[in-house]
Structure 1
Amino acid sequence: MSQLVTPLDRETVADRLLKGAVKRSYAPVVDIDWDAPMEAGKYFLPPKVLSLYGTPLWESMSTEQRIELSRQEAANILSVGIWFENMLNQALLKSLMHNDPGSLHSRYMLTEMGDECRHMTMFGRAIERMGAKPYQLRPAQAVVANLLPKAFRGTMLWVAALIGEEIFDATQRRVLDDPLLQPLISRLMQIHVTEEARHIRFAREGVRRRVAESHPIDKLWVGAVQGIGGVLFRRLFTNPAMYKRAGLDPKIAREQAWANPHFRAVQQEGFASLGAFLDENGLMLASSRAMWRRGGFL
C-alpha cells in the first residue's frame, strides 16, 4: 500500500479550482457545432470500447450494424451520465445547506454544480443530435436513484463522486482522439474531460480529508459497501434495451458482453486509477473488492 498523501485544506483546494474554472470552462451551447452533420462511416463510440467488440455476435454484424450499436451504447452511457450527475447535484445541494455560503469551498461546489448542469444539457442534446433516444430508468431503478442522494454524505459523497466520474473519464481520455469517432462526440469528450479533471481533484481531496478526520467506523462502512458501484455499472453498461434498439437479441447480447474479455479489459483500465486510490486510502475492503471483481472491473 502506497503512503497516504496529506490532504490539503479545503479552502486552498477550492481556491485553486476556482481559478482553474475561470481559465478553462466551456459553454457547450456555443462550444460545440450542433449543426454540423454526422460523418458517414464513423462511430459514436470507438469499436474497441464497445461491449460486444470481438465477440461471435460482433463478428456476425455488418459495419452498419456495428455503427448502430455504437449509437445505442453511446446514448445509454450519456443517459447514465445524466442520471448520475443529477444525483450528485442533489447531494451537493443538500451538503451546501450546512456549509458557510461565503466560503471558497461553497463557491466551488456551486461552480461544479453549474458545470454538471451544462454537462447534462450537453449529453441530452448530443443524444438527440445523434438520432437516438434517451434511456429511462426502470421503476425499481428510479426508486434507488431517488434514495441514493440521501446516502451520499461524508466520505461516501466523495467516493460516490469519484465512482461516477473517474471510470468514464479514464475511458474518454483513451478514445477522444480516435479517428473512427464522430467529431461531435470527440468534442463533447474534450469538454467533459477538461472540466471533470477539476471535479475529480475536488472529490479526491474530499476523500483524503474525510479519511483523515472522520471516525474509523465511517471508513469501514464506506470501504465495505462502495463496491456496489461495480455491480451496478456492470448492469447499466450492458442495458438490454440498447441491444434491442440495435436489432440484437438482448439476452444473447448481454451474455456475450459479460463473458467478453475485451470488454472486461476496458472496464479494468477505466477502474485502475480509482481502484488504486481507494486502496491507498484504506477504502477497498474485501467485500467491495469482491463486488468490483464480480462487475468485471478487477
Structure 2
Amino acid sequence: MTVDITADAPAEPTGPRADIGTSGDLDADMVAALCHASTRRGFDPFVDIDWDAPENLLDDNDPRWQLDPDIAPLAMTEWYVRQPLERRIEMGRWITANILKVTLQFEMMLIRGVIHYAGTLPNGSVVFRYLLHELTDECHHIQMFQELVNRTGDDVPGMRRGSRVLGPILGFIGGYANIFLFIGVLCGEQPLHFQQTLQHRGAAAVPPLLNMITAIHLAEEARHIAFANNYLAQRVSAVGRFRRTLYALAFPIYLRWLIGEMIAPPRAFARQFGIPRRVFKAAYWRSASSRQMLAESAADVRRVAEDLGLYTVWSRCVWRLLGIDGRLPRYRGEPDRSQRLARVDEFRAVVWGRTAAAAIMAGVALAATPVGLRIIAVAAAGTAVWVSYHVLRGRHGGVVGNQPFEWPRLVVWVVVCVAMIPAGGLIGLALVVFMILALAEFMPTI
C-alpha cells in the first residue's frame, strides 16, 4: 500500500507578517492555513498503513537494519564494522526501535504542555483549533511508533531513567511557560527531522515499513515546526532583555539534552551488546566525526535561534561548550556540503588525560602528606575492588536494555569512595576516582 505524503502545507514563515503590528498576536492567516492543511492531509496509522502487507512484514535478519554511517555515530567505528553481520543487524534494529521509543516519549511530554496551553486560549481562537490538530497528529505518531517497536520484538527503554522522570514535569511546567514549551518543541522536533531526512536520502537502505512511518512523520512534523517557528517569532520579539537571556540559554541546553536522548542510546545498550567502553565513548561524542554529527544535528535550531536574535556572541559560548555550535544553514534541512571526516576508531586522549591526572594526584599525595605511599596503596586497593566487580560482572552476564537500575554497581562506587576518605582524605578520594576513571576505558562493560 502506498501512502501519499505530498501534503500542500504552506511554506515555512521566516518571520512575523508585516500587518500584524506589535501586538504579539500570531499570524491568523498562517495558522488557518495550517489548520486547513491538517484537515486536508492527515494520516491515521491504522488506516493509511497496511501493517500486515507482505512488503511491510519485518524480518529480524533483514540486512537493511544495519546502521548507516551517515546517521549513526556507532556505525563509523571500526569496532562496529568488524562485527558479524547478524550482530550488526541486531544492534541496528535495537537502536532504531529505541529512537522511536524516545520520540514517542518526547511527544507524550509535548502533549502535556500543549493541551494545558490550549486550555488557556479564548473562545474562537484559531490557534486552539490548530493545536488540537497537532495533538491529534502526535497521538497518531505515538500509536505508529509504538506499533513498530512492538513488531521489532526489542524491549527497548527509550529515554534514560532521569529523563523519563524529569520530562513529564517539564512538560507540565511548559503549560505555564509557553515560550519555553515551544523552544522545547523545536529542540526535540528539529534534530529528529534532520535524522529522518538523512534516512530518506538513502531510503532504499531501510525496511519499507520504517520508511513509510518516517515519511508520514516528516510530512506532519513540518507543520508543527512551522507553527513553533511562527509562535516564537511573534512572542520572543515582545519580551524584555532578562527573559531573552533565559531563552537564549534554554535553546542550547534543551537541544543538547534532547539530541543526546534521541541519537545516543543508553549505556544499557552497550552492556547488552558488549561494546567496549572506549568505543562507545568515542562514538558518543568524543571522536571528531561524531562531534561533527552532533553539531550538524543542531544546525536547523541554530538557524531559528539566529532568526530570533538569541544566537548572540555570549550565548555561542554555551553552544560551543555543549558541542553543538557550527554552521548556520540557509534553509531548514540544508545538507552539509563540507568534506566528510574519515571513519575513526578510538579516542585515546581521554585515557591519557585521566592517567596523567591520577599520576599528578599521586605526586601530590607523596609531596604533601607523610603517608603518601599508604594513600596510594589504599587507592590502588579500592580501584582493584572496582575493577574486580566489573570483570566478574562481565563474565557472569551484564544487564540488558530494559533492566531496572543496577544498585550493586552504585554500592561498589559508594563503598570504595567512602572507605577512601578516612584513609587518605580528599587527596585519596580524588586519587581513587581518577584511577577508576582511567581504568574504566578498558573495562568490557560500561
| TM value normalised by structure 1 | 0.89
Deviation at 1:284, TM superposition (A): 2.6
CA distance in 1, matches of 2:41, 2:251: 31
Deviation at 1:27, TM superposition (A): 0.8
Report the equivalent of 2:68.
Answer: 46
- What code does the residue aligned with 2:92 have? S
| C-alpha contact 2:183 2:250 (8 A) present in aligned 1 | no
1:6 equivalenced with 2:26 (yes/no): no
In structure 2, do the counterparts of structure 1 residues 294 and 31 end up closer, same or farther at CA, with 3 Å as the change threshold?
A: farther
| C-alpha contact 1:34 1:129 (8 A) present in aligned 2 | no
In structure 2, do the counterparts of structure 1 residues 261 and 144 end up closer, same or farther at CA, with 3 Å as the change threshold?
A: same
Match of 2:126 among 104, 108, 112: 104
Structure 1: 5+ residue runs without aligned partners? none
Report the equivalent of 1:154.
Answer: 178
Deviation at 1:28, TM superposition (A): 1.1
CA distance in 1, matches of 2:81, 2:161: 35
- What code does the residue aligned with 1:214 have? V
Once the two structures are superposed, what CA deviation does each residue of 1:115-142 show, in whole Å capped at 9, x if it has no partner?
0011011111111112222315555333
Match of 2:162 among 140, 145, 163: 140
| C-alpha contact 2:101 2:156 (8 A) present in aligned 1 | yes
Deviation at 1:62, TM superposition (A): 2.1
Match of 2:243 among 206, 218, 225: 218
In structure 2, do the counterparts of structure 1 residues 250 and 159 end up closer, same or farther at CA, with 3 Å as the change threshold?
A: farther
CA distance in 1, matches of 2:44, 2:66: 21
- What code does the residue aligned with 2:294 have? Q
Deviation at 1:234, TM superposition (A): 5.0
Bigger Cα Rg: 2
1:203-242 matches, within 5 Å, as 203-233=228-258, 235-236=260-261, 237-238=263-264, 239-242=266-269
CA distance in 2, matches of 1:250, 1:282: 42
CA RMSD in angstroms, aligned pairs only: 2.3
Deviation at 1:177, TM superposition (A): 4.6
Report the equivalent of 1:267.
Answer: 294
- What code does the residue aligned with 2:51 have? W
Report the equivalent of 1:20.
Answer: 37
Match of 2:83 among 36, 50, 61: 61
1:240-251 matches, within 5 Å, as 240-245=267-272, 247-249=273-275, 251=277
In structure 2, do the counterparts of structure 1 residues 206 and 14 end up closer, same or farther at CA, with 3 Å as the change threshold?
A: same
Match of 1:200 among 201, 215, 225: 225
| C-alpha contact 1:171 1:270 (8 A) present in aligned 2 | yes
Larger mean CA deviation between 195-204 and 256-265 belongs to 256-265
% identical equivalent positions: 27
Once the two structures are superposed, what CA deviation does each residue of 1:10-53 show, in whole Å capped at 9, x if it has no partner?
32222010111122211111222322322522126534311212
CA distance in 2, matches of 1:294, 1:73: 27
CA distance in 1, matches of 2:259, 2:125: 38
CA distance in 2, matches of 1:51, 1:74: 13
Larger mean CA deviation between 141-150 and 190-199 belongs to 141-150
1:30 equivalenced with 2:47 (yes/no): yes
| TM value normalised by structure 2 | 0.61
In structure 2, do the counterparts of structure 1 residues 81 and 184 end up closer, same or farther at CA, with 3 Å as the change threshold?
A: same
| C-alpha contact 2:100 2:146 (8 A) present in aligned 1 | yes
1:62-77 matches, within 5 Å, as 62-77=84-99
CA distance in 1, matches of 2:170, 2:51: 33
In structure 2, do the counterparts of structure 1 residues 254 and 115 end up closer, same or farther at CA, with 3 Å as the change threshold?
A: same
